[in-house]
Amino acid sequence: MISKSPSLAVHKLLLYSLLFLQTYYSLATSANSSTAKNFIECVSINSELSVPVVTTLFTPNTSSFTSVLGSTPTNLRFLEPSVPKPQFIFTPLHDSHVQAAVICSKQLGFHFRVRSGGHDYEGVSYVSEIETPFILIDLINLRLVHVDIENNSAWVQAGATIGELYYKISQKSKVHGFPAGICPSVGIGGHITGGGYGAMLRKYGLAADNVLDARLVDVNGRILDREMMGKDLFWAIRGGGGGSFGIILWWKIKLVPVPETVTFFRIVNSSTNEKTLKISYNALFLGDSIRLLKVLGDGFPELGLEKKDCMEMSWVESVLYVDGYPKGTPVQSLLQAKNRFRTYFKAKSDFVSVPIPEKALEGLWTRMLKEENPAMVWTPLGGMMSRISESKIPYPHRKGILFMSQYLTTWADGDKDPERHIDWIREVYEYMTPYVSNSPRQAYVNYRDLDLGINKNNMCFDWPITDHWGIRYYNEDNFKRLCLFQSQPLTEQVSTIAEEIFRSDAVGGHRPDGSLL
């Protein structure tokens, strides 16, 4: 029942005002930061809901700032003391808080970064080298998931993890899934903005190929859905890189059918030299082991797969198993999935369209054995990936690609010469030049590599170009479309993020997040 008397409403208003003044005063006296005070005052004025300062804003002189900043990042290189830190971190609790943050950043002249998961390889969702000072908008509190099995769809907030999404789907159905990544702690917001591949990509394509709608905040602080944003912006956000075209609030995704029983296998072969080179073959099969053994026995007998190598389970159980959890781990663990790959690292990516000669592989193995903690991951494409046009979304690596190659090297905290590891991976990358895609040499934007270039002063392109970083990530036609769309004048119909507050150190602002990532 709604009271017609104004006294209750007035009483609540006064109470909220007193609470706001109390927390505002606390912020003012403890943080002594005019930047933070001005921002939170502006956000409170422009939000539908009041902003509880104590739980949403963290300044460097508060005890929780360091823990919040370091709570999700994968690459610990970008938490080092020498790396620029945000003036403060804002963790919105509601869509309107994000709207207000954009409006207020524009009014107050703040640069900002947006983070939804932290799996950003180069840290550009929470670090800015070329635009300082800056603030961080962390979407960690925006993680609702609404699953609609009847319509084979779900709405998921950008701050939710892939694991949370998978769990919520599994609680509604044993025969529905979503073709996204294999790491449960990745933030869904940025994962999709770069394309987002996973164990079911050969069957259903990328996560971005299975997006039905979205809600985002544009440069003017408006919330737009697919119809309101128009076809060009909806095209751009599905693979065009996080942080370039707006702040994703929600994705509406298409659920895909999965059998009640799937099969996972892992076969490991090792050499026995002075150092061991371990090769692991891993795969998820959408069916039981009997059918899998027949398929691989006919098509790939060299692998020597046997019944003992096969693990049958449900699709949601396979998510945990693929990520390294023991079989039988409760699926509820997906709700608390931790980032299992938090370390210091450098990574690069390639796409391969012709088989690599055996002699070249021998040279690669030799170089791998020279590094302390190297890794290389080959992800086969083909299947549905070959049947989707490279212009359907900005992600272009489709027909003719055999597999994607990712190179990694990691090192421990306190390593006296971390640059030697980065030098090593650059040498390996140079060695592989003749054996990977060329004109351009392609790269995966969710494995962002700032060695390829950065987007200084928002200069998207200068034509003609042959090996620009944007061409590597998107191909020439897709990159040109992204650039032309991003640089067109703002109109009432389409509002692109071409203004300074959304610029990034590279196209997008995130990793296998990310994230807005």
| Centroid of chain to Cα 72 | 12
Sequence-separated (6 or more) residues with CB below 8 Å from residue 29: none
pLDDT attached to residue 459: 55
pLDDT attached to residue 28: 37
Convert 24-40 to b/e letters by CB count within 10 Å (16 or more is b).
beebbeebebeebbebb
Contact 330, 346 (CB under 8 A): no
Q: Tell me: the pLDDT tens digits for 98-151?
A: 999 999 999 999 999 999 988 989 999 999 877 778 999 999 999 999 999 999
pLDDT attached to residue 502: 40
In the chain, which segments carry CATH 3.30.43.10? 25-138
Q: Tokens 């994968």 map to which residue?
A: 74
CATH class of 145-257: alpha beta
Contact 318, 284 (CB under 8 A): yes
Q: How far apart are CA 309 and CA 289, in angstroms?
A: 9
- Residue 203: CB atoms within 10 A of its CB come to 16
Distances (CA, A) of 503 to 100, 244, 245: 18, 7, 9
- The H-assigned helical ranges of 80-131 are 95-108
Q: How far apart are CA 184 and CA 300, in angstroms?
A: 30
Going across the sheet that includes 344-352, the strands are: 344-352, 403-411, 374-380
Residues in the chain, pLDDT under 70: 1-33, 271-274, 456-467, 486-517
Q: How far apart are CA 124 and CA 510, in angstroms?
A: 6
For 343-469, CATH gives 3.40.462.20
Contact 173, 128 (CB under 8 A): no
Using only the alpha carbons of the chain, give its radius of gyration. 24
Q: Tell me: the pLDDT tens digits for 318-341?
A: 999 998 899 889 999 999 877 778
pLDDT attached to residue 7: 46
Convert 423-450 to b/e letters by CB count within 10 Å (16 or more is b).
ebbeebbeebeebbbeebbbbbbbbbbe
Q: Can you name the CATH fold of 25-138?
A: 3.30.43
